[in-house]
Amino acid sequence: MTCRHYTPSTDAVLGCRPSNAAKLGTILYQILLDRCWRRSGTLLYRPNQRKACCPHYSIRLDANAFHASRDQRQAVNRFSRFIIGDEYARVAARVNPRSRAETKRRDTTFDLVERVHEAESDNLPPLPSSRGHKAYKTQRAVGDNDGQAASVPLPVEPELTKTIEPAHRFVVTLEPDTYSDEKYEVFENYQRMVHKEPPSKISKRGFTNFLCNSPLRRETFTERSGRQKKLGSFHQCYRLDGRLVAIGVLDLLPDCVSAVYFLYHESIHNLSPGKLGALREIALALEGGYRWWYSGYYIHNCPKMRYKIDFAPQYVLDPELPSSWDLLDKEALAKFDKQPYVSFSHERVEEYKTKLLKQHPNGDSDNYGFGLFGLGKPLTFHGPAVEEHTPDGGDAVAGTREESGEPIAALDGEANNGDDDDSDSDAENSDSPNVPLFTSNMPGLPSMATVARYHLDDIPILTSLQPTMFPVHYLAVWDEGTVTDGTSFKNKVAELVAMMGSDLIPQLCLDFRRHPS
């Protein structure tokens, strides 16, 4: 299959391993994100950066350290001026003038959370048309017997009660990721006008499967500070003058705001909606206590992806070392200019090996006991316990099978029933199922010796023929293969575990029931 991000002279396969998730806990998905995984609808996938013509690298931004660039600040200010309008701005300056100190603060600092909320209708109340006019006038009564003047209200002139409204009404809401015709209209317009997709490839079913069919469970927990933290999949909806004009599809996880997709109506294209949407999501990471903003994969040789590095500081996930993030600065980007596949941990190992060889030119592996100075072994990763990823101060939002009676993750064994053509995901460009994972040279996989020691027999499985979970080794076909033979069912389960990490075995359930499409 030809890579959708890059069209070379010959077809190039984008290495990717997909799995379907029927249910997925937010804690577990946070861990998977830090191991190069992403989701598209219910489809979870992990790319093979070594095999891909256009390697996909996970990146994230530290919202606490983010400073908006001049261009980004200007985009926010332009949008605010558009919403507020000149007349409202003039009256506001007269009715509620800023102090000299406040004016200086705004000129010298840019508070992202403050600025992105300024144009919302709740923060722009109606203002009187002029300052100092009284709603009522009084006149001295004539002919009072006691000689005292009486105050009598006079009719109020219409122009004195007139109020000034902003030029536009702008409302942002965080809503469940459910389907609505209103949302689909924005999706249809975006795919047709921005992505130039033909109408035949745009469908309600595709929209639902891609952007409304999340395996993540929505839930809320309270941190020690008392802050309510939302978790799960949501639609951040932007309405202009009562009309839905943009949607940010978000996964809110214990430690991040993960951007799934952003779509908008063509009518607001000149307002820089993509840039504004990213800034809103970074602000959400700040005010919601998530800290990190995950913008998805970064493809260095794809021009449409370069905008992501305009938001800094960005960190790139090392494909060979789970949860290892390196600063994506100019020096790092220069490495991607020279070669498509980059692993900073591998480069550090090679640099250290070179240094040791210079110091010990006659060194041999036997003297060190584990290969060439102990630095040439394939990576084996077991990872921390899942329970340790519970957000600080919050109650556990998901548990093991023993704790909650259900698995954190239920991986669907059936093929994806969605309309793949409607998906913006790169999971559609997957490896042939006939190519064994352990011969694919995917980075970060454990050694074959480690895989052979996996204890997989007790992984639970669900089928349409059995109402309850049972251990996978009850299947007749289970003992017909090995974890390393490349073709058996046991091998495919071992491949999945190798990509996820063996520490996640207690959180895994294989779901082979037929689910409604």
Question: pLDDT tens-digit profile of 132-156?
Answer: 444 434 444 444 555 454 555 555 5
Token pair 């202009």 is found at 240
Does residue 462 fall inside a structural domain? Answer: yes
- 33 CB neighbour count, 10 Å cutoff: 23
Residue 166: asked if its preceding bond is cis (omega within 30°), the reply is: no
Q: What percent of the chain has pLDDT over 70?
A: 76
> CA angle 109-112-117, nearest 5°?
120
Does residue 152 fall inside a structural domain? Answer: no
- What's the pLDDT at 129? 80
Which DSSP category does 383 fall into? -
138-to-162, 167, 372 alpha-carbon distances in Å: 20, 34, 97
Rounded Cα distance between 285 and 292, Å, is 6
Number of alpha carbons in the 13 Å side-chain half-sphere of residue 498: 30
Is pLDDT at 63 greater than 80 in this prediction?
Answer: yes
Does residue 459 fall inside a structural domain? Answer: yes
Mean pLDDT of 158-166: 76
- What's the pLDDT at 397? 32
Structure tokens at 392: 């600080």
Phi-psi domain of 18 (left: phi exceeds 0; alpha: psi -120 through 50; beta: other): beta
Mean pLDDT of 373-401: 37
- What's the pLDDT at 353? 81
Does residue 398 fall inside a structural domain? Answer: no
Rounded Cα distance between 137 and 349, Å, is 84
- What's the pLDDT at 205? 96
Give me the residues paired with residue 466 across strands. Answer: 463
Secondary structure class of 368 (helix, strand, coil): helix
User: Does the predicted model carry a pTM greater than 0.75?
Assistant: yes
Does residue 239 fall inside a structural domain? Answer: no
Structure tokens at 16: 């990717």
Parallel/antiparallel/unpaired status of strands 38-40 and 243-253? unpaired
- What's the pLDDT at 213? 85
Q: What percent of the chain has pLDDT over 90?
A: 64
Which helix (H) or strand (E) segment holds residue 186: the answer is: helix 181-189
Structural domains in the chain (count): 1
What ranges in 310-397 are assigned the alpha helix state H? Answer: 330-338, 344-359, 365-368
Query: Cα 466 to chain center, whole Å?
Result: 36
Query: Cα 255 to chain center, whole Å?
Result: 11
What ranges in 5-122 are assigned the alpha helix state H? Answer: 26-33, 70-84, 86-95, 100-108, 112-117
- What's the pLDDT at 489? 95
- What's the pLDDT at 319? 96
For residue range 7-45, what is the model confidence (pLDDT) as tens digits?
Answer: 333 222 334 566 677 789 999 999 999 999 999 999 999
Does residue 277 fall inside a structural domain? Answer: no
Which DSSP category does 216 fall into? B
CA end-to-end distance (rounded Å), the chain: 25
User: Cβ distance 231 to 167 under 8 Å?
Assistant: no
Rounded Cα distance between 375 and 349, Å, is 7
Least confident window among 41-45, 68-72, 362-366, 415-419: 415-419
Q: Which one-letter amino acid corresponds to residue 268?
A: I
Structure tokens at 166: 């902003």
Does residue 486 fall inside a structural domain? Answer: yes
335-to-170, 302, 329, 344, 354 alpha-carbon distances in Å: 43, 16, 10, 9, 19
Mean pLDDT of 348-377: 62
Parallel/antiparallel/unpaired status of strands 292-298 and 170-176? unpaired
Largest pairwise CA distance in the chain: 121
Rounded Cα distance between 148 and 8, Å, is 96
- What's the pLDDT at 120? 97
Rounded Cα distance between 185 and 199, Å, is 12
Dihedral of CA atoms 242, 248, 253, 254 in degrees, nearest 10, equals -60
> Containing domain of residue 466, as a range?
445-512
Structure tokens at 459: 């992984």
Mean pLDDT of 442-449: 93
Q: Which one-letter amino acid corresponds to residue 436?
A: P
Which helix (H) or strand (E) segment holds residue 245: the answer is: strand 243-253
Does residue 488 fall inside a structural domain? Answer: yes
Number of alpha carbons in the 13 Å side-chain half-sphere of residue 259: 28
Rounded Cα distance between 357 and 363, Å, is 7
Instruction: Give φ, ψ of 156 to 5 degrees.
Output: -90, 135
- What's the pLDDT at 298? 97
More confident residue, 355 or 62: 62
- What's the pLDDT at 387? 34
Mean pLDDT of 410-435: 47
For residue range 294-349, what is the model confidence (pLDDT) as tens digits?
Answer: 999 999 999 989 999 999 999 999 999 989 999 999 999 999 999 999 999 999 98
- What's the pLDDT at 389? 35
Parallel/antiparallel/unpaired status of strands 508-511 and 460-463? parallel
127-to-77, 87, 96, 103, 480 alpha-carbon distances in Å: 21, 11, 10, 21, 77
* Residue 394 pLDDT class (50, 70, 90 cuts): very low
Secondary structure class of 14 (helix, strand, coil): coil
More confident residue, 247 or 138: 247
Q: Which of 93-97, 351-355, 373-377 holds the top average pLDDT?
A: 93-97
